C-alpha cells in the first residue's frame, strides 16, 4: 500500500484506532521528534496537500476522450455568411429577452429562421446554444433549423445532442439489429418516404418479432396506407395475438376495396331496409351472433358473462364495410341518405368515423352539413376547407364551437376567413372567444390585415382578453415587419 | 490601438439592475421621447420626456461607469439611463461630436471635485497610534486563542477519524465556523463552513477533507511562526485567515499606471455574498485580480468587458503574485484589443501553478492564458493542446465554448482550480469573447 493510501486509511478510521504511516523518506521530509499520532497525521496531511497540488499533471487527451471520433473533429467551415447585425440582435432579443409571449416568440423565431434561409445567411455562432435549447421544446423551430444554423450549428447539434441529430436515411440494412424502439422509429420514417419498402422490410422479418413488436410495427402502416398492404394485413387477421389482430382489422377499415370490406358489406346489407310508401323509413337490424369468419374479421365474440354488445358489433360492421352499401340500399345520395338516418346518432357517428378514416370526400361534405366536426373539415382540400368554414360562420355558427375548427386550420388564413373571425372577436360579449383564440390568432391573421387590427385595438374596449389578443396580433405583425427589414 | 468604445447592447443589458428595468428601458429606447442627446469619450447624455412637464436629464459616465438621472427612480441605473445607453449602443442617438450638455458637464465636474476631496481627506487623516496599537494587540490576542482552539479541534478530528466527522450534522461544522468568526478568523470560518456541505456533496470528500485538514493545520503552524515570515508571506497568510487589509493602506502605496488589459472576469453567488473577480494585466505583463463584493440583493460593480484596455491606475495589495489589486482612479476604457497576446501550453501552465503553490501553499486559484487549445465535448468537457495534454473544464457553458470555437485551436484565458480549468475568455478570429 502506498504512503498516501495508508495516510488516507488512518485519517478515515482516526488515529485513535489506526496508527498513521511513517512519512515518506524519499521526499526528504524529516519530522521532529516526539510528535503525537494526531500531530504526525496532520503534518503528513499538510505535506500530502502541497505535494498533490504542486505535482499536478495534465490528463492525456486520448485517455480523456477515448475513441469517440466525434469529439475530435473540428467543425467544417461555414460557407454562408452571418446575418446582419440587426438580424442577429433581433434573434438575440427573441432568445434572451422575448418582448412577446412564448407562443409568439416561437413563431417569430421560426419566421426568423425562414427569412435567414431565404436570404442564404446563417445564425451567428454565439447564438447557437440558446437557439438549439429552445428548439428542443419547440417542434416548429426544430423543423426550420436547417440550413439556417449553418455547418457550425449542425456540427454542434451532432456533438452535444447526437441522439437528436437527424437519422441518416439509407441505414435500413441494419434494421434487424436495432432495438425495438429504434426499429419502430426507423420503420415509421421509411413508411413516410417509401411505403412499399417499409412493407417489404416488415414482411421479410415478420416471423422474428415478439407480439408487441408485431403490433407496433404493423401500426406504422396507418401512414400512407394503400391497397398493396392488404395481403399482409389479411394474413395478420390470423395472428395468434389479439392485439395484432385488432391492429390489422382497424387498418383494413381504411381499405374499402379489400376482401374484408366485401365480407363486411355482405354482413351489413341484410341489416338495412328502407320501408314505407315514400320509402322514408329506414330500419336497421342488429347483427346476428358472429360465426367463425365474422370473429376472424374482428367482430366481438360473446362475453363470458352478460349480454353481448350487439350495437358495438353493428359499429364494427359499419366501419368495415364500404360506404356505398348505404347509398345502394337507399338509392339516394349521401346527403339524402343521412337525412333518412336522422335521429340514429350512433350510426351516423360510425359512418362519420369511417368517412374520415378513408377521406371519402362525398361523404365528408354531406356529413359536414349535419355535423360540425373538426375531423371532417381536416379532410377537405385547403381552399374548400376555408370556404366551408367561412360559410359556416356566416350561417351563424356558435362562435365557441369554431375554436377547435379554427385551431386546426393552416396559418396564415386567407383574408375572408380572417375578416370573419375578426368580426366575431370584436362583436359584443366575445371576450371568451377572444381568450380561446389567443394561442394562435396572431399567426393566423395575414399581414395585410395589420392596419385593420391596429385600428381595432385603438377602438377596443375594456375587455382584457380581447385587448390582449388584438395586442398580440399587432405586436406579432410589427415584429414581423422588423424581421423583414433586417433581411434585405 | 485605443478607439472610442461604444458599448455593445449586451453590455447595456449587463448593467441593468433587474429584468423589469430592462423591459421598461426597451420601451423607451426609440428616438421619440429623447432630445439634446450626445456623447464624448467618457460621457453620454440626453433628455427624456417623461410624464411630467420637464424632461429628465440623464448623464452616464461610461468609463467608471456611473449614472445620473433627475428622475425619482430608486433603481440604479434607472430605465432612462438604460434606454439612453441602448440607443447609443445601437448608434440611434447620442452621436459623438456635440458640445457636452451643461447638465452633464456639471455632473462630471461635481464628481471630480468629490473624488479629489475624498483623496485629500484620506491622505489628511492621522490615526491615533496608541489606540491603534491597542486594537491590534486585542485582535492578535483573540486570534491566538482562536488558532489554539482550532488546533485542538483538528487533533480531535483526526483522532476520531474523518468518517466519523462526515456523520456529524451540519450544525457541528457551523458551530466551529462561528467560533472562528468570533476569533476574527472569517476566512478560515468560511472554509470550514463550506466543508460541512462538501463532505456530502463531493464524491472525493475523503481526500478533500484530508488535504484541507492538512492545509488548516499548516495555517495554525504558520500563524505561530509569523514573526519569521517575509511581509509577502505574512500577507498571504492574512488573506487565508480572512484578516482584511485596509483599503486606505493600499491606496497609499504606489499607483501603477495603465493601460491595464481586462483578461476575463467571473462572478459567483453563494446565496449570501456575491463576488466578482476581474483579472487584469498591466503594461509589464504583471497580472492582478480586482475583487468586488456585494451582499445578496445589492448590485455588484459593473463588470469590465474582457478584452478592454483600461486607462486606470492600479494599486496592489501585499502578497505573492498574482496579487489582489484595486483601481485608484476612475476607469476609462480605451478600446478593445483583438488578442490577449501569447499564451502558454497546458504543461507550462501547470508548472507555473506549481511554482505559485510552492511560494504560497494557501493559493487555491491560478490565472492562465493558454494558447492553441481546443475544446472537446467528451464528458465533462476538456481543453486540450497540441501536445496531447488535457484539462477538465469546470463552470463553463460547454455548448457556448463549442459554438464559438467550432473545435478549432483558440487562445483561452481561465482559472486553474483543483486541477481543472474555468474558461473565462476565448479569442476567436480577431475577437475577444466571453463564452
Domain presence at residue B246 = no
CB contact under 8 A, B361 and A50: yes
Residues of chain A with pLDDT > 90, as a percent, come to 46
For the ranges A112-126, A254-268, A384-398, B338-352, the lowest mean pLDDT is seen at A384-398
What angle do the packed helices A150-160 and B398-405 form, to 10 degrees? 140
Asked whether residue A315 carries a pLDDT value surpassing 50, the answer given is yes
| Min distance B389 CA to chain A CA atoms (Å) | 5
Q: Is residue B43 domain-shared with residue B115, that is, in the same domain? A: yes
> What's the pLDDT band for A433 if we cut at 50, 70, 90?
confident
pLDDT for res A206: 86
Q: Is residue B106 domain-shared with residue B153, that is, in the same domain? A: no
pLDDT for res A68: 57
* Interatomic CA distance for residues B34 and B57, integer angstroms: 10
Chain A, 30 to 59: residues with Cβ < 8 Å from chain B are 36-39, 41-50, 52-59
Domain presence at residue B3 = no
Q: What is the mean pLDDT of residues A320-329?
A: 94
Q: Is residue B350 domain-shared with residue B400, that is, in the same domain? A: yes
Q: What is the mean pLDDT of residues A63-79?
A: 74
Q: Which helix (H) or strand (E) holds B371?
A: strand B366-376
Q: Is residue B305 domain-shared with residue B353, that is, in the same domain? A: no
Mutate to test the interface with B, among A3, A41, A45 (most CBs of B within 10 A): A45
For the ranges A98-107, A159-168, A455-464, the lowest mean pLDDT is seen at A159-168
For the ranges B120-124, B192-196, B355-359, B397-401, the lowest mean pLDDT is seen at B120-124
Which is nearest to B279 in space by CA: B369, B363, B352? B369
Q: Are strands B324-327 and B287-295 parallel, antiparallel or unpaired?
A: parallel
Asked whether residue A285 carries a pLDDT value surpassing 80, the answer given is yes
Q: What is the mean pLDDT of residues A401-427?
A: 88
End-to-end Cα spacing for chain B: 24
CB contact under 8 A, B158 and A59: no
* Interatomic CA distance for residues B94 and B74, integer angstroms: 24
User: For A422, what's the count of Cα atoms within 13 Å in the CB-facing half-sphere?
Assistant: 25
Mutate to test the interface with A, among B87, B150, B158 (most CBs of A within 10 A): B158
Domain presence at residue B341 = no
Domain presence at residue B1 = no
> What's the pLDDT band for A172 if we cut at 50, 70, 90?
very low
Measured between beta carbons, the chain A residues lying within 8 angstroms of B159 are: 14-16, 37-38
Q: Is residue B56 domain-shared with residue B153, that is, in the same domain? A: no
Q: Identify the sign of the CA torsion A219, A221, A227, A230.
A: negative
pLDDT for res A427: 84
Mean pLDDT (chain B, rounded): 89
> What's the pLDDT band for B3 if we cut at 50, 70, 90?
very low
**Residues linked to residue B375 through DSSP beta bridges, in sequence order:** B383
Domain presence at residue B196 = yes
Contact in structure between B93 and B31 (CB atoms under 8 Å): yes
Domain presence at residue B289 = yes
pLDDT for res A71: 58
CB contact under 8 A, A58 and B13: no
Contacts of B65 by beta carbon, 8 Å cutoff, 6+ apart: B15, B302, B331
pLDDT for res B124: 61
Q: Which three cell numbers stand for residue A238?
A: 390470423
Size of interface A-B (CB pairs under 8 A): 174
Q: What is the mean pLDDT of residues B159-184?
A: 94
Q: Is residue B327 domain-shared with residue B374, that is, in the same domain? A: no
- Give backbone dihedrals phi and psi of A179, rounded to 5 degrees, phi first: -65, 165
Q: Is residue B269 domain-shared with residue B315, that is, in the same domain? A: yes
User: For A148, what's the count of Cα atoms within 13 Å in the CB-facing half-sphere?
Assistant: 27
CB contact under 8 A, A59 and B378: no
Chain B, 280 to 339: residues with Cβ < 8 Å from chain A are none
Q: What is the mean pLDDT of residues A336-357?
A: 92
- Looking at the complex, does the CB of residue B164 fall below 8 Å from at least one CB of chain A? yes
Q: What is the mean pLDDT of residues A469-483?
A: 87
| C-alpha angle B16-B20-A101 in degrees, rounded to nearest 5 | 120
pLDDT for res B100: 84
CB contact under 8 A, B403 and A46: no
* Interatomic CA distance for residues A227 and A187, integer angstroms: 19
Measured between beta carbons, the chain B residues lying within 8 angstroms of A89 are: 9, 90
Please report, for the domain that includes residue B366, its CATH number.
2.40.50
- Of A15, A43, A68, Cβ closest to residue B378: A68
**Residues linked to residue B432 through DSSP beta bridges, in sequence order:** B427
Q: Is residue B54 domain-shared with residue B135, that is, in the same domain? A: no
* Interatomic CA distance for residues B435 and B412, integer angstroms: 10
> What's the pLDDT band for B5 if we cut at 50, 70, 90?
low
- Looking at the complex, does the CB of residue A428 fall below 8 Å from at least one CB of chain B? no
Domain presence at residue B278 = yes
Measured between beta carbons, the chain B residues lying within 8 angstroms of A32 are: none
For the ranges B29-33, B178-182, B213-217, the lowest mean pLDDT is seen at B29-33
pLDDT for res A192: 83
pLDDT for res A128: 95
| Min distance A48 CA to chain B CA atoms (Å) | 7
For the ranges A34-38, B48-52, B103-107, the lowest mean pLDDT is seen at B48-52
Measured between beta carbons, the chain A residues lying within 8 angstroms of B211 are: 45, 48-49, 52
Q: What is the mean pLDDT of residues B15-23?
A: 85
CB contact under 8 A, A58 and B211: no
CB contact under 8 A, A44 and B214: yes
Asked whether residue B238 carries a pLDDT value surpassing 90, the answer given is yes
Q: What is the mean pLDDT of residues B219-238?
A: 94
Asked whether residue A166 carries a pLDDT value surpassing 60, the answer given is no
Residue appearing with cell numbers 449586451: B10
- pLDDT digit string, tens, across residues B259-289: 999 999 999 887 778 899 999 999 989 999 9
Of B185 and A429, more confident: B185
CB contact under 8 A, A13 and B402: no
Q: Is residue B311 domain-shared with residue B214, that is, in the same domain? A: no
Domain span including residue B418: 346-433
CB contact under 8 A, B159 and A99: no
Domain presence at residue B90 = yes
Asked whether residue B75 carries a pLDDT value surpassing 80, the answer given is no
Closest Cα in chain B to A67: B378
- Of A16, A45, A57, Cβ closest to residue B350: A57
Residues of chain B with pLDDT > 70, as a percent, come to 97
- Looking at the complex, does the CB of residue A484 fall below 8 Å from at least one CB of chain B? no
Mean pLDDT (chain A, rounded): 87
CB contact under 8 A, A126 and B400: yes
Per DSSP, the residues of B23-62 read HHHHHH-SSTTEEEEEE-SSEEEEEE--SSSSPEEEEEET
* Interatomic CA distance for residues A210 and A179, integer angstroms: 12
CB contact under 8 A, B162 and A155: no
> Which residue among B190, B209, B241 closes a domain?
B241
Q: Give me the number of domains chain B comprises.
A: 4
Which is nearest to B41 in space by CA: B3, B91, B93? B3
Which is nearest to A444 in space by CA: A422, A466, A426, A463? A422
Cis peptide bond prior to A147, omega within 30° of 0: yes
> Which residue among B336, B359, B392 closes a domain?
B336
Which is nearest to B312 in space by CA: B287, B282, B357? B282
Asked whether residue A230 carries a pLDDT value surpassing 80, the answer given is yes
Asked whether residue B346 carries a pLDDT value surpassing 70, the answer given is yes
Asked whether residue A214 carries a pLDDT value surpassing 60, the answer given is yes
Asked whether residue B19 carries a pLDDT value surpassing 90, the answer given is no
SS (H, E, C) A146-168: CCCCHHHHHHHHHHHCHHHCCCC
CB contact under 8 A, A50 and B398: no
Amino acid at each position: 500500500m502506498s504512503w498516501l493510501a495508508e495516510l488516507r486509511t488512518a485519517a478515515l478510521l482516526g488515529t485513535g484506532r489506526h496508527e498513521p504511516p511513517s512519512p515518506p523518506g524519499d521526499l526528504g521530509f524529516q519530522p521532529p521528534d516526539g510528535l503525537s499520532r494526531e500531530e504526525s497525521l496532520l503534518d503528513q496531511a499538510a505535506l500530502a496537500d502541497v505535494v498533490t497540488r504542486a505535482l499536478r499533471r495534465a490528463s492525456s487527451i486520448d485517455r480523456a476522450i477515448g475513441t469517440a471520433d466525434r469529439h475530435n473533429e473540428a467543425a467544417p467551415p461555414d460557407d454562408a455568411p452571418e446575418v446582419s447585425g440587426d438580424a442577429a440582435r433581433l434573434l438575440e432579443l427573441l432568445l434572451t429577452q422575448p418582448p412577446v409571449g412564448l407562443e409568439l416568440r416561437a413563431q417569430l423565431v421560426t419566421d426568423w429562421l425562414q427569412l435567414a434561409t431565404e436570404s442564404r445567411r446563417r445564425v451567428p455562432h454565439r447564438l447557437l446554444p440558446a437557439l438549439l435549447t429552445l428548439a428542443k421544446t419547440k417542434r416548429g423551430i426544430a423543423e426550420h433549423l436547417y440550413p439556417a444554423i449553418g455547418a457550425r450549428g449542425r456540427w454542434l447539434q451532432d456533438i452535444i445532442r447526437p441522439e437528436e441529430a437527424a437519422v441518416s436515411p439509407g441505414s435500413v440494412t441494419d434494421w434487424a439489429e436495432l432495438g425495438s424502439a429504434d426499429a419502430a422509429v426507423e420503420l415509421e420514417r421509411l413508411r413516410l418516404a417509401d411505403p412499399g419498402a417499409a412493407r417489404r422490410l416488415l414482411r421479410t422479418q415478420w416471423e422474428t418479432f415478439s407480439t408487441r413488436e408485431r403490433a407496433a410495427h404493423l401500426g406504422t402502416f396507418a401512414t400512407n396506407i394503400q391497397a398493396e398492404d392488404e395481403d399482409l394485413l389479411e394474413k395478420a387477421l390470423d395472428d395468434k395475438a389479439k392485439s395484432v389482430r385488432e391492429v390489422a382489422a382497424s387498418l383494413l377499415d381504411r381499405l374499402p376495396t379489400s376482401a374484408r370490406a366485401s365480407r363486411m358489406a355482405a354482413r351489413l346489407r341484410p341489416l338495412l331496409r328502407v320501408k314505407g310508401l315514400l320509402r322514408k323509413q329506414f330500419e336497421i337490424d342488429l347483427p346476428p351472433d358472429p360465426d367463425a369468419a365474422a370473429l376472424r374479421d374482428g367482430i366481438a365474440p360473446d362475453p363470458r358473462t352478460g349480454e353481448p354488445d350487439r350495437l358495438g358489433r353493428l359499429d364494427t360492421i359499419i366501419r368495415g364495410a364500404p360506404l356505398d352499401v348505404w347509398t345502394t340500399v337507399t338509392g339516394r345520395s349521401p346527403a339524402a341518405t343521412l337525412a333518412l338516418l336522422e335521429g340514429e346518432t350512433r350510426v351516423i357517428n360510425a359512418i362519420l368515423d369511417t368517412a374520415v378514416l378513408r377521406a371519402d370526400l362525398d361523404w365528408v361534405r354531406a356529413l359536414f352539413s349535419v355535423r360540425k366536426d373538426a375531423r371532417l373539415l381536416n379532410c377537405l382540400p385547403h381552399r374548400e376547407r376555408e370556404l366551408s368554414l367561412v360559410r359556416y360562420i356566416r350561417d351563424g355558427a356558435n362562435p365557441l364551437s369554431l375554436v377547435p375548427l379554427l385551431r386546426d386550420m393552416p396559418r396564415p388564413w386567407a383574408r375572408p376567413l380572417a375578416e370573419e373571425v375578426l368580426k366575431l372577436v370584436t362583436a359584443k360579449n366575445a371576450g371568451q372567444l377572444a381568450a380561446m383564440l389567443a394561442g394562435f390568432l396572431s399567426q393566423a391573421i395575414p399581414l395585410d390585415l395589420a392596419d385593420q387590427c391596429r385600428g381595432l385595438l385603438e377602438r377596443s374596449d375594456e375587455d382584457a382578453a380581447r385587448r390582449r389578443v388584438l395586442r398580440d396580433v399587432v405586436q406579432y405583425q410589427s415584429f414581423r415587419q422588423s424581421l423583414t427589414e433586417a433581411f434585405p | 490601438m485605443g478607439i472610442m468604445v461604444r458599448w455593445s447592447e449586451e453590455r447595456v443589458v449587463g448593467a441593468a439592475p433587474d429584468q423589469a428595468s430592462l423591459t421598461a428601458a426597451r420601451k423607451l429606447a426609440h428616438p421619440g421621447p429623447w432630445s439634446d442627446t450626445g456623447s464624448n469619450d467618457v460621457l453620454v447624455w440626453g433628455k427624456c420626456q417623461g410624464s411630467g412637464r420637464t424632461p429628465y436629464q440623464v448623464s452616464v459616465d461610461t468609463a467608471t461607469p456611473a449614472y445620473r438621472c433627475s428622475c425619482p427612480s430608486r433603481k440604479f441605473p434607472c430605465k432612462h439611463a438604460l434606454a439612453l445607453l441602448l440607443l447609443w449602443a445601437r448608434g440611434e442617438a447620442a452621436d459623438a461630436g456635440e458640445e457636452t450638455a451643461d447638465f452633464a458637464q456639471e455632473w462630471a465636474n461635481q464628481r471630480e471635485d468629490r473624488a479629489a476631496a475624498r483623496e485629500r481627506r484620506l491622505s489628511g487623516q492621522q490615526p491615533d497610534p496608541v489606540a491603534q496599537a491597542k486594537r491590534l494587540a486585542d485582535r492578535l490576542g483573540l486570534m491566538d486563542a482562536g488558532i489554539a482552539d482550532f488546533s485542538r479541534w483538528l487533533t480531535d478530528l483526526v483522532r476520531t477519524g474523518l468518517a466519523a466527522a462526515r456523520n456529524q450534522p451540519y450544525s457541528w461544522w457551523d458551530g466551529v465556523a462561528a467560533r472562528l468568526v468570533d476569533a476574527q478568523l472569517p476566512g478560515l470560518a468560511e472554509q470550514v463552513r463550506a466543508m460541512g456541505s462538501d463532505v456530502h456533496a463531493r464524491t472525493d470528500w475523503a481526500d478533500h477533507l484530508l488535504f484541507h485538514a492538512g492545509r488548516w493545520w499548516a495555517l495554525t503552524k504558520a500563524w505561530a511562526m509569523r514573526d519569521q515570515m517575509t511581509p509577502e508571506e505574512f500577507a498571504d497568510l492574512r488573506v487565508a485567515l480572512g484578516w482584511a487589509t485596509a483599503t486606505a493602506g493600499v491606496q497609499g502605496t504606489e499607483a501603477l499606471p495603465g493601460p491595464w488589459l481586462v483578461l476575463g472576469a467571473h462572478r459567483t453567488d453563494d446565496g449570501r455574498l456575491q463576488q466578482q473577480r476581474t483579472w487584469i494585466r498591466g503594461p509589464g505583463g504583471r497580472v492582478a485580480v480586482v475583487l468586488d463584493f456585494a451582499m445578496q440583493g445589492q448590485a455588484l460593480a459593473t463588470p469590465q468587458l474582457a478584452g478592454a484596455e483600461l486607462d486606470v491606475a492600479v494599486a496592489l495589495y501585499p502578497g505573492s503574485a498574482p496579487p489582489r489589486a484595486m483601481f485608484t482612479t476612475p476607469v476609462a476604457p480605451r478600446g478593445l484589443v483583438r488578442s490577449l497576446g501569447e499564451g502558454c501550453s497546458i504543461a507550462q501552465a501547470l508548472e507555473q501553478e506549481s511554482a505559485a503553490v510552492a511560494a504560497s501553499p494557501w493559493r487555491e486559484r491560478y490565472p492562465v492564458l493558454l494558447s492553441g487549445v481546443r475544446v472537446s465535448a467528451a464528458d465533462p468537457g476538456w481543453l486540450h493542446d497540441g501536445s496531447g495534454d488535457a484539462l477538465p473544464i469546470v463552470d463553463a457553458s460547454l455548448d457556448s465554448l463549442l459554438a464559438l470555437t467550432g473545435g478549432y485551436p483558440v487562445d483561452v484565458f481561465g482559472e486553474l482550480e483543483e486541477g481543472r480549468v474555468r474558461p473565462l475568455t476565448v479569442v476567436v478570429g480577431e475577437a475577444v469573447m466571453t463564452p
